[in-house]
Chains A and B, each alone.
Chain A
Amino acid sequence: MNAAVAALPMRHDELISALDARQAPKRTVVAFGFWVFLLSDIVMFSALFAAYAVLVHATAGGPTGAHLFDQRNVAIETACLLLSSYTCGLMTLSIGSRRRGATYLFAAVTFVLGAAFLALEISEFASMVAHGAAPQRSAFLSAFFALVGCHGLHVTAGLLWLVVMMAQVQIRGFVPSVERRLLCFSLFWHALDIIWVGLFSVVYLMGVAP
């Protein structure tokens, strides 16, 4: 009993110091937490993908994907998002080497490409609704608008986040908290591009494939 009581505080101290030594830097912890959030977001998208895949033939006599989808438009959207993912990576590098001008430049290019993607998507939705292919037309169109629209909302949120982050860089500079948020933003933006890869393959290309 005595021996145990005597030994306990030492072990406890050892444990604490061992925990301190193995404590990951805050940057790693924050980014890992955000990584787990992104994966849960992707799980949510997988449910929308599953709903779309189940309902893709439930057109209720309405238009099918082959009638509605314009491949040229999708190709331009894909190029915009892929290039914006690349410039987002270059922005991360500029942040790492503390080049403020290059950071603004690549952030601006990322924003413009993302906004171009969004504008193309909104015009596509508007023309579909104008041709009577609104979400309430069929289960296929409900699933389509839910899936693609959810991705579009994510891109919108990402664009707003990018503007806020550039304001923070302008006002506060490259302090650790701003850098952590920028790292999370780049993870978010790359994840959106990964979801888009699934989207254009499953929805658009499989929809128009012969």
Chain B
Amino acid sequence: MSATTATTYDRAPGDSKAHPRSEAFVYAIGLLLAIVLTATSFWVANTSALWGPGVPLGLAVLAIAQMGVHVVFFLHITTGPDNTNNVLALAFGVLIVALVIAGSLWIMTNLNSNMMPSMDMMNLHGQR
């Protein structure tokens, strides 16, 4: 292992290998994509052209897409070998976030539907 190998195999998150001028271009592409995705989100929330129950799902997909745009174009996280540490940390973070959000929603929805007093029970209370 030589020093050069070590430097090519590690890159700080936020650092880019690109030339400064092309890096400005990368930020501009990121901004453009983010604006398009944000505008689409606002349009999806306000249009009646889409099926109502599908709107939250569409918004979630657009939000995740825009987060991906930010990670790639603003934070310069790539899938290259010099970014392995950054990507692994990110993957672990995404796993925990998904577990916390999906797990909470799942459990609380389940509890809600199980704890909802049924008509029979309400009648029993009424008769007592």
A residues near B (Cβ < 8 Å) are: 18, 21-25, 27-28, 30-32, 34-36, 39-40, 42-43, 46-47, 49-51, 53-54, 71, 75, 78, 82-83, 85-86, 89-90, 92-93, 96-97, 183, 186-187, 190-191, 193-194, 197-198, 200-202, 205-206, 208-210
Contact = CB atoms under 8 A, between A and B. Distances in A.
Given A35-B13, A43-B100, A183-B12, A71 B42 contact: yes
Interface of B: 1-3, 5-7, 10-15, 20, 23-24, 27-28, 30-31, 34-35, 38, 41-42, 44-46, 48, 52, 55-56, 59-60, 62-63, 66-67, 70-71, 74-75, 85-86, 89-90, 92-93, 96-97, 100-101, 103-105, 108
A83 B34 CA distance: 10
Contact of B56 (A18, A90, A194, A209): A209
Max count, chain A CB within 10 A of own CB: residue among B3, B86, B89, B93: B93
| 3 shortest interchain CB distances as A-B pairs | A31-B12, A39-B93, A50-B104
Contacts, number: 151
Contacts of B10: 24-25, 28
B90 A39 contact: yes
